[in-house]
Amino acid sequence: MKPASVSATSALLAEHDYLADRALATTVHLALCMQRPLFLEGEPGTGKTEIAKVLAAGLGRRLVRLQCYDGLDLAAAAYEWNHARQLMTIRLAEAAGETDRERLESDIYARPFLLERPLLSAIDPDQPPAVLLIDELDRADEPFEAFLLELLADFQITVPEFGTISAGTPPVVILTSNRTREVHDAIRRRCLYHWVDYPDGARERAILARKAPGVPERLSAEVVAFVQKLRGEDLFKLPGVAETIDWAGALHALDQRELNPELVDETLGVLLKYQDDIAKIRGAEAARLVAEAQEEAA
Amino acid sequence: MNELSPPQSGGGRLAANVMHFARLLRRAGLPVGTPEILAAQRALGFIDLGAREEMRTALSATMVRRREQQEIFDRAFALFWRNPEALRQDAALGLLQAEKPKPERPMPGSRRLQEAFSPPRNRPPRGEEPPPRIDAALAASERERLQTLDFEAMSAAEIAAAKAEIRRLALPLDMRRTRRRRADPTGPEIDLAGTLRASLRQGGEILRLARRRRVTRAPPLVVICDISGSMARYAQILLHFVHAVVNLRERVHVFLFGTRLSNITRQLRHRDPEIAFQMVAHIVPDWSGGTRIGEALATFNHFWARRVLAQGAVVLLVSDGLDRDGAHGLAENMDRLHRSCRRLIWLNPLLRWEGFSPRSQGIRAMLPYVDEFRPVHNLESLRELVTLLSKPAPVARGGVAEEWRIAS
């Protein structure tokens, strides 16, 4: 059951507390309609991973997640043969006096001996349809990208000893990257591309209202105004939406109803994760931003 | 655009317009091919064509592949879909074509072509002496001079020699263990999958254990190279060096800076050094100008560090450390760079070992953050550079400043 229009897609995401802007909703809608993988790039904390989770919930599919890391290989990502079980079968065959080589070979390279890893699990025709999240692809090394090409183009995986396994229902594939290195063009070509940007003030307030429902309205308006101002500063790492939500939650937990400079100084570590950045903002700069944010939110 | 067929009527009109649009993008330098056009056509079938924003996103999702291309796309979209006729306006096209890199100056590669067609003869020796330039070494230029540099092209034989030299290059700590393994009969680990596969050929009898070992590979290399006036006489040899490195090793990124920082990796990827250097000369605006090391490093840290320093990169910083800005912001940015990479090697081609003490402000600011300091007073050939860089590390990480303190 695919949403019928961009608005329906947008509503589906919103139902699960994901407020996408029009461009993102359109791209997601297209990915669903065209059955193409969706490649999302953007700064950390802008909700790239969240889309996959929300889509899985919204479409009633299971979520299969592959977290990428340097050195990720086929055995950890796609499939592995269950060697212990294979050895045992050989021994048993020996004990039973089985000598037909062909038969033994086809016996031990059969489906029950194949251990599924996320990629294979996502396209397994015997399981319900999936949303496949390939998270932080930029962390994997280049050889791994090559493994993905067949999967992304045809939703199938070829196991040399066994044959080709293709998906009954093509999975919805979401790839994310924080751009710590450039992902190869061969991957990009097979995907729809979208750059996920920081939301504007109005959208961020709406997100905050959904994600941190207990936070007083005034506080959340000030928090958003402050963070939006902060993103205009020359910082090494700008705070993402995830940080905004955390910070609003933190201030709320401290029973605050509005921002004040001392408190901002004390809780800045929730928002900024580099000491240089914190040192730069703490004190006078924070006080100035708080004043501006309060003026704007009032 | 005269060769374009006139727009058809009815449903074909949109398809034709998408194609015209794709052509416009291609002229603006975006790699939009037939698969992208087909995908775009399909995508338009799923959205509300009346909603401009949806249409823009649909085309962008199928035709744009990198964030850098987004801006060009947006401008092209605004231009074209307001009024496709606008395409015919020269001014509009000029605007977009300005985006397209136009590196081609007349006939690159001609020298080697000539060489190939003419019988070999003894040419007078060339390329050995440094280019005739006024030696302004040890004095950073005071103003930013914008000038382009003409490189003497290398002959085919020289290119081959240069490549052979670069193959010898072994930076300290150059191999890094990965988590991948490959089959190796003498490897330390047993490869169960391989053993089983082999045993089946013997009817399930294990006669030989397959073995494997960990793969090591060279870490990413980032070269940040100073091309200010005081470094000008080394520019040629350094460019040849980085060109050969980029084309021989994987995962190399090259940045040049004088007063501003330019990423020239893509330009250098061109296998032909003549064309590569012309492209570089075209995009780098500040040959032989002043130096603002601090600012250049700040730019690098801010915009590039996270994108190119992943996976244990080694940074090779080539600079004389003579800073025009009085070392403003230099220490902070060196510190950050040092902490973001696995190893920071500073190659200083201007200062001699003997009688050198770190007096200049810039050098004093930079030294504490360098893992390795490699001064060399005479850098005239690639061979020397490679030999120098391949020598074992003189001091341990972080210990450079200590050594200087004792010496001075």
CA atoms A164, A165, A166, A168: torsion sign? positive
What's the pLDDT at B380?
A: 60
Residue A235 lies in a domain: yes
Question: Nearest CA to B357 among B292, B404, B302?
Answer: B404
Nearest 5 degrees, angle CA A173-CA A244-CA B338?
80
Assess whether A182 and A131 both reside in one domain.
yes
Cα four-point dihedral sign A160, A162, A163, A167? negative
Chain A interface mutation, best of B215, B306, B307, highest count of A Cβ atoms under 10 Å: B306
Give a yes or no: residue A124 inside a domain: yes
> Phi and psi of A39, rounded to 5°?
-105, 115
Is the same domain home to A164 and A73? Answer: yes
Indicate whether this model's pTM tops 0.90.
Answer: no
Amino acid (1-letter code) at residue B16 = A
C-beta separation of B66 from A188 below 8 A = yes
Edge-first strand listing for the sheet containing A62-67:
A62-67, A130-135, A172-177, A38-42, A192-196
Residue B318 backbone phi and psi in degrees, to 5: -110, 110
Give domain status of residue A111, yes or no. Answer: no
Indicate the length of chain B as a whole number: 408
For residue B106, give every residue at least 6 positions away whose Cβ sits within 8 Å of its Cβ, in sequence order, or none: none
- Residue A131 sits in the same domain as residue A221: no
Nearest to A66 by CA among A151, A192, A163: A151
In a domain, A105, yes or no: no
- Decide: A66 and A135 in contact? Cβ < 8 Å: yes
What residues form DSSP beta bridges with B177?
Answer: B216
Write out residues 75-114 of A within 8 Å (CB-CB) of B. Answer: 80-81, 83, 86-87, 90, 93-94, 99, 101, 104-105, 108
Q: Are residues A130 and A257 in the same domain?
A: no
Burial of B252 (0-12, 13-18, 19+ CB in 10 A): buried
Do A248 and A125 have their domain in common? no
pLDDT at position A53: 95
CB-CB neighbours of A252 under 10 Å: 17
Verify that A171 and A187 share a domain, yes or no.
yes
Q: Say yes or no: A30 and A133 in one domain.
A: yes
The full DSSP string for B107-128 is: -TTHHHHHHHHSPP--PPP-S-
ipTM, 2 dp = 0.79
pLDDT tens series, chain B, 408 aa: 333 444 444 457 888 889 999 998 988 888 899 999 999 999 999 988 888 889 999 999 999 988 888 888 988 888 888 765 555 555 555 555 555 544 444 444 555 555 555 544 444 444 444 444 433 333 333 333 333 444 445 566 666 676 677 777 776 666 777 778 888 888 898 888 888 888 877 766 778 888 998 888 888 889 998 888 777 777 777 888 888 888 878 889 999 988 788 898 888 888 777 788 888 888 887 776 777 888 889 899 988 888 888 888 889 898 888 777 667 788 888 988 998 888 888 888 765 544 455 667 778 888 888 888 876 655 666 677 777 777 765 554 444 555 554 444
Q: How far apart are CA A131 and CA B365, in angstroms?
A: 52
Of A143, A177, A196, which residue sits at a domain end? A196
Taking 70 as the pLDDT cut, the residues of chain A under it are 1
pLDDT at B40: 93
Which pairs from A107-112 meet CB under 8 Å and 24+ separation? A108/B196, A108/B200, A109/A81, A109/A161, A109/A162, A110/A162, A111/A162, A112/A85
pLDDT digits (tens, 9 = 90+) for A165-217: 999 899 999 999 998 888 888 999 999 999 999 999 999 999 999 999 989 99
Q: Tally the domains of chain A.
A: 2
Q: Chain A contact for B65, CB < 8 A?
A: yes
List the single best residue of B30, B52, B65 to mutate versus A (max A Cβ within 10 A).
B65
The enclosing H or E element of A122 equals: helix A118-123
Report the Cα–Cα distance between both ends of chain B, in Å, rounded: 69
Domain of A29, in residue numbers = 6-78+117-196
Question: Do B209 and B190 form a contact (C-beta atoms < 8 A)?
Answer: yes
Q: Which residue of B has its CA nearest to A23?
A: B57
Q: How far is CA B264 from the centre of its chain?
A: 4
Q: Which of A138, A165, A196 is where one domain is finished? A: A196
Domain at A17, CATH number: 3.40.50.300
Describe the crossing of helices A241-253 and A217-230 by its angle, rounded to 10 degrees.
140
Q: Is residue A294 in some structural domain? A: no
What's at A65, amino acid-wise? R
List for chain B the helix, strand, coil content (%; round to 5): 45, 10, 45
**Which of these three, A179, A196, A213, is where a domain ends?**
A196
Domain membership flag for residue A98:
no
Residues A243 and A272 placed together within one structural domain of the fold:
yes
Count of CB atoms situated within 10 Å of the CB of B216: 12
Together in a domain, A168 and A265: no
A108 within some domain = no
- Is B192 near chain A, with CB under 8 Å? yes
**Is-contact B63 B73, C-beta < 8 A?**
yes
Nearest to B385 by CA among B280, B278, B240: B240
Whether A121 is in a domain gets the answer: yes
Please tell me whether residues A55 and A182 are part of one structural domain: yes
The CA-atom distances, in angstroms, between B68 and each of A41, B71, B93, B97, B256 are 12, 7, 19, 16, 20
A247 shares a domain with A205: yes
Instruction: State residue A236's pLDDT score.
Output: 84
Instruction: Please indicate, yes or no, whether residues A258 and A216 belong to a single structural domain of this protein.
Output: yes
The rounded distance, in Å, linking the Cα atoms of B386 and B404 is 24
Tell me the sheet residues that pair with B262: B256
Those of residues 133-152 in A touching chain B at CB distance below 8 A are 138-139, 141-143
A71/B178 CB distance under 8 A: yes
Among A26, A27, A179, select the one facing B307 at the smallest CB separation. Answer: A179
What is the per-residue pLDDT for B215? 85
Task: Give chain B positions within 8 Å (CB) of A79.
Answer: none
